[in-house]
Amino acid sequence: MKIQEILKGENKGLKKALFLFDKEDSDKKVIFKFNLWSRYYFNQYFTSDDAPFHQQLDQNNLNIYRGKIKSYTNIVFRGGAKTARTKLFIAYCIANDKNHTRKYFKVFGQFLKKR
């Protein structure tokens, strides 16, 4: 069955299975499924094409989730979709990780005081 047929169909079980991932799945496959899931359920966040650096954001988020790296700073220019993509990625992992890895993201923010 084709992906488009599953997404347009009424079978919720097939849709859920389409997005699930586990620890044996390749990074490329997980990121593909994340992008499919996020655009299917949250298409309002995708008003323009992805920038080339979005692939790196997705890869870094997956690396953090899988424990491949201990930390990274998500720095992109204002309007670069860093917050939306990261929040969507976390939601995707919680909803679709078959192994229930549930590794958590630590978010640190620094706010500048007016001087």
CA 72 to each of CA 13, 41, 101, 112: distance values in angstroms, whole numbers, following the listed order: 35, 27, 20, 20
- What pLDDT score does 99 carry? 85
pLDDT band at 77 (very low <50, low <70, confident <90, very high): low
Per-residue model confidence as pLDDT tens digits over 7-40:
999 999 999 999 999 999 999 999 999 999 999 9
- What pLDDT score does 80 carry? 60
- What pLDDT score does 45 carry? 82
Per-residue model confidence as pLDDT tens digits over 38-55:
999 998 888 878 878 888
Specify burial of residue 87 (Cβ count, 10 A radius: 0-12, 13-18, 19+).
Answer: middle
89 contacts 58 by C-beta, under 8 angstroms: yes
- What pLDDT score does 90 carry? 86
Per-residue model confidence as pLDDT tens digits over 79-114:
565 678 888 988 899 889 998 776 665 555 544 455
Per-residue model confidence as pLDDT tens digits over 55-76:
888 998 898 888 888 777 666 6
